[in-house]
Amino acid sequence: MRFFTVLSTTVLFTVVTALAQDAGATRADWPHYGGSPYSWRYSALDQINTSNVKSLTPAWMFQTGDYAENLQATPIVVDGVMYVITAQAHVFALDAGTGREIWNYRYPPVPRNIPGFSGNRGVAVGDGKVFFGTKDNYVVALDQKTGRLAWKVNVDDARQCGCNITAAPMVVKDKVIVGGTGGDGAHRGYITAFNTRTGRLAWRWYVVPGPGEKGNETWKGDSWRFGGGSPWLTGSYDPALNLLYWGTGNAAADFYDTERVVAGADKTKDVNLYTASVVALDPDTGKLRWHYQEVPDDIWDYDSSYEVVLLDRQIRGRMRQALLHMNKSGLTFVLDRATGEYLGSFSVPEVRTWIAGVTEDGKLVGRNEPVMGKATSICPSAAGAKSWNSTAYSPRTGFLYVPVNEMCNDITPNNHPADEGKNYMNGDFPFKLPAGRTTFSHVDAWDPVTGKRAWSMPYKYVLLASMLATAGDLVFTGNPEGDFYALDAKSGNKLWSYQTGAGHRGSAVSYSVNGRQYVATPTGWHSSVVGALAQSLFPDQDWRLGSTLVVFALPEGSR
Amino acid sequence: MKIRLKWMAAAIALGVSCQAQNIANVVKQGDAVFAKTCATGYCHGVRGGPSGAPRLAARGFNQGYIDKVVRNGVPDTGMASFSTRLSPPDLVAVIAYVATLNGIANPDVSMDGAGDATSARPTLTGEAARGARLFSEAVRGFGRCSTCHEVGGFGIPVAAPLAKVPATAAELKGLATPDVKTGAMGGETMPVLVLSQRKQATVFYDLTSAPPVQRNAEPGSLKLIDGSNWRHTSAIGAYNDSELAAILDYLRAVVKP
């Protein structure tokens, strides 16, 4: 009997593990923002591989016609149909094999007095609908077949909260779940879930707990009201554990903590919960299951809103259900995704001045905090050792592929009072290049178990496009000069490159239609926010804007 | 006569120094508005320095140009129109401040042509000011008036613009809502507020729970029945009577019949 229990437990464990590992990759479809709900950005397709990638050629292109900003969306592909959204929320359904338009939907122009940047990082598809967020803070559902409006619901008055939605929503079972922006303003961030069929509110989870809730005691006075923490990107989901994972944003005010941190707070413990954290929520109820705060008292604008990569790996002799999570500082945490237990960490930027290091149990050591009234040089910058563009993980190499930027900023804090929905960064932070460097970014391959860098390919400017890994042992990404290229996943050697005519700030995907593998990339340099900041460092460069989807495949007949 | 002249000179001097003081105050106010609205790091830099958006200091801008750009925005860029986002005094102040960054020592701080009628917010005091806060208080989530009503440039215009302000909290709770009907769709009934009925679709708000959801019904799929079990009193249940009275004070101050 006992033997039987052990045996069945082993069998069950093996099955669960196998499920998790299988579910991480995409195949013919690219159904979610991060590829699968595990956010690997890894395709199991290997038709295009290291031996034939040099023959890769454009199969079709699609000009969106919306040139207000660049195309940053991750295209979603389901059953041979691609769904893509532009900066001004023009949504297209395209035949993924040919680029033929099936339908389009244009969200009405947003009044010019609505604050926020135009930009949209993707749609979510599920329950026969296409979901997206808008600049004026609506979640919108279209009929997947016709593109007709099914429902729309306002999440918050953008004029009051100074918040909106640029992230792709996420569908989990019968809910569409969305994070918002606003954490650099006087705002209290949250994640909201709506019923996919009716649009009715399912739950809302506030990043910053209110009075009487656990964690509220980590805030000074009533600073929780405008504590920031906006989770402005897209989460991940583990169906076996039924846990939803999301990264949360920086505390507000960003660079001045006197109003929000209780005097004498121990910064080796949680401060200003649940900002700059990874949280695991019950997707059915929105209840918090566990949290791990990566940057207690985040005074560098190192928000942790980035993607959460779910993977199963042998760590110190034991198979772990783990997650990888990088925040803007480039410090990447390896946690047990069932419990939030700290398993390890590694830091990707080569120039780091914000902390001296991390202890065995994950505590930050030697905090270099900006001081009121003077400029403190901090590396990496608030633009991030990585920006919001995603990493990719390949189970074949076991490496996490990371676009790393080496920038610093001189932070001078100020103490403007909070004014709801208005800027509450409370600091000046001009960007600069680190002294003595000739290259300002690199694509890296990191082994998350050993915390060692396997290879690194330097690049002279910045890198702000996502990574795509494939079973063909290729890693795809693009640069601001317009090159879209493939690296050997094992060595980092460049195997192929194509000049797409405009800079890259989006996220490439891979999928197949009728047995033919495609690699699709959005193009167009980002003309505001970090794109513009980065470009201001290189005034002699003319990185072209645009909004075109470029799709590659091997030539017909060559397969 | 001599005395009179002396007095006049003093009065003029006083006037000039009052004017200078006024400009200084307005510019100072503009500095504060700029810091929280424009110098957001990702947009313009502190004191008009370069950042995500172009530098504004020492660009040789004249005040008319600054005025135009601040009020109207710049199409197809991140520069929004601030004509309704800022109050008229804040608009004048921030324009004056940016003028000083461009070497205009004594910018025009008159309110001529400042703002438009829709952005003119009366100065509220006492209970009305408290009511304005309560109307759209963020901590109330979807249980605030602004979830369904747009007043003074804030809130979501689900309901038609307010035409008449109820006299008392009791009247507000007992408000008749004849436009809310019962809709039957897909085997489910719900309180609905119809926006439009066209051949292609009926567009309505589903008021089952807050926030209201704007939904589209295919032709013939939604059946409408007069009357509903929806009550305004449930929607405002998070407010107590004193708070409702303050909100009514606010509405009386701003809603023009």
The H or E element spanning position B25 is helix B2-37
User: Alpha-carbon distance A177 to B248, whole Å?
Assistant: 36
Beta bridge partners of A77: A30, A82
pLDDT band of residue A559 (cuts 50, 70, 90) is low
User: Alpha-carbon distance B207 to B214, whole Å?
Assistant: 9
Per the listing, tokens 């994950």 go with: A362
pLDDT reported for residue A177: 98
Give A155's contacts in chain B (Cβ within 8 Å).
211
The rounded percent of chain B whose pLDDT value lies above 70 is 86
Which of B135, B207, B215 is most worth mutating to test chain A (most A CB atoms within 10 A of its CB)? Answer: B215
**Nearest beta carbon to residue A188 from set B138, B147, B153:** B138
Pair (B185, B218) in one structural domain: yes
Pair (B57, B107) in one structural domain: yes
CB neighbour list of residue B102: distance below 8 Å, 6 or more residues apart? B56, B57, B58, B59, B60, B61, B62, B66
Q: To the nearest whole angstrom, how far is the Cα of B72 from the nearest Cα of chain A?
A: 8
CB neighbour list of residue A197: distance below 8 Å, 6 or more residues apart? A127, A174
Pair (B202, B164) in one structural domain: no
* pLDDT tens for each residue of A484-525: 999 999 999 999 999 999 999 999 999 999 999 999 999 999
| B87 and chain A in contact, CB less than 8 A | no
User: Alpha-carbon distance B205 to A542, whole Å?
Assistant: 48
Pair (B130, B250) in one structural domain: yes
User: Alpha-carbon distance A415 to A419, whole Å?
Assistant: 12
Cβ-contact B86, B37 below 8 angstroms: yes
Beta bridge partners of A152: A140, B214
Output A12 or A165, whichever has higher pLDDT: A165
**Nearest beta carbon to residue A200 from set B35, B136, B208:** B208
Output A80 or B200, whichever has higher pLDDT: A80
pLDDT band of residue B112 (cuts 50, 70, 90) is low
Pair (B198, B239) in one structural domain: no
CB contact under 8 A, A428 and B41: yes
Pair (B95, B210) in one structural domain: no
Pair (B83, B150) in one structural domain: no
* pLDDT tens for each residue of A345-399: 999 999 999 999 999 999 999 999 999 989 999 999 999 999 999 999 999 999 9
* pLDDT tens for each residue of B194-231: 999 888 889 999 999 999 999 999 989 999 999 999 99
pLDDT reported for residue B2: 43
The H or E element spanning position B16 is helix B2-37
- Closest alpha carbon to B63 in B131, B113, B15, B128: B113
CB neighbour list of residue A84: distance below 8 Å, 6 or more residues apart? A62, A64, A71, A73, A75, A76, A91, A92, A94, A122, A123, A522, A549
Strands (E), A180-255: 190-195, 201-206, 236-238, 243-247
User: Alpha-carbon distance A164 to B42, whole Å?
Assistant: 16
Query: In the structure encoding, which two tokens stand for residue B193, read together?
Result: 């507020």
Residue A488 CB neighbours (<10 A): 18
CATH 2.140.10.10 fits A34-553, yes or no: yes
Average pLDDT over residues A194-218: 98
How many domains does chain B fold into? 3
pLDDT reported for residue A4: 40
Which of B34, B136, B213, B221 is most worth mutating to test chain A (most A CB atoms within 10 A of its CB)? Answer: B213
**Nearest beta carbon to residue A151 from set B76, B209, B215:** B215
A72: left (phi over 0), alpha (psi -120 to 50) or beta: alpha
The rounded percent of chain A whose pLDDT value lies above 90 is 87
Pair (B143, B170) in one structural domain: yes
**Nearest beta carbon to residue B146 from set A113, A149, A157:** A157
Q: To the nearest whole angstrom, how far is the Cα of B53 from the nearest Cα of chain A?
A: 7
| B156 and chain A in contact, CB less than 8 A | yes
Is the pLDDT at B236 greater than 90, yes or no? yes
Is the pLDDT at B1 greater than 80, yes or no? no
pLDDT reported for residue B18: 63
175-204 of B, contacting A, C-beta below 8 A: 201
φ, ψ of residue A391 to 5 degrees: the values are -80, 175
**Nearest beta carbon to residue B76 from set A68, A149, A536:** A68
Beta bridge partners of A42: A469
CB contact under 8 A, A428 and B39: yes
Give B73's contacts in chain A (Cβ within 8 Å).
112
Pair (B207, B170) in one structural domain: no
Distances (CA, A) of A415 to A14, A249, A352: 55, 20, 26
Question: What is the SS3 assignment for A510?
Answer: strand
Q: What's the DSSP call for residue B32? A: H
Q: Which residues of A are catalytic?
A: 301
Average pLDDT over residues A464-472: 98
Query: Domains of chain A: which residue ranges?
Result: 34-553
* pLDDT tens for each residue of B19-71: 777 888 899 999 988 988 888 767 787 888 777 777 787 777 888 889 988 98
Cβ-contact A509, A36 below 8 angstroms: no
Q: What predicted TM-score, i.e. pTM, was given to this entire model?
A: 0.88
Q: Which domain holds residue B201?
A: 180-230
Pair (B250, B132) in one structural domain: yes
CB contact under 8 A, B154 and A160: yes
Per the listing, tokens 């002799």 go with: A317
CB neighbour list of residue A37: distance below 8 Å, 6 or more residues apart? A23, A170, A172, A236, A237, A238, A239, A310
Tell whether omega for the bond before B211 is within 30 degrees of 0, i.e. cis. yes
Distances (CA, A) of A205 to A177, A199, B1, B153: 11, 17, 76, 27
Pair (B52, B69) in one structural domain: yes
Per the listing, tokens 């808008």 go with: A134
Q: To the nearest whole angstrom, how far is the Cα of A491 from the nearest Cα of chain B?
A: 36
Is the pLDDT at B122 greater than 70, yes or no? no
Pair (B66, B185) in one structural domain: no
Give B154's contacts in chain A (Cβ within 8 Å).
157, 159-160
* pLDDT tens for each residue of A409-465: 999 999 999 999 999 999 999 888 898 898 999 999 999 999 999 999 999 999 999
* pLDDT tens for each residue of A12-48: 444 444 455 678 999 999 999 999 999 999 999 999 9
CB contact under 8 A, B45 and A536: no
pLDDT band of residue A210 (cuts 50, 70, 90) is very high
**Interface confidence (ipTM) of the complex:** 0.92
- Closest alpha carbon to A467 in A348, A558, A337, A351: A348
Average pLDDT for chain A: 94
φ, ψ of residue B171 to 5 degrees: the values are -65, -40
Output A119 or A81, whichever has higher pLDDT: A81
Is the pLDDT at A305 greater than 60, yes or no? yes
Average pLDDT over residues A89-107: 98
Is the pLDDT at A407 greater than 90, yes or no? yes
User: Alpha-carbon distance A225 to A248, whole Å?
Assistant: 16
Query: In the structure encoding, which two tokens stand for residue B20, read together?
Result: 């200078």
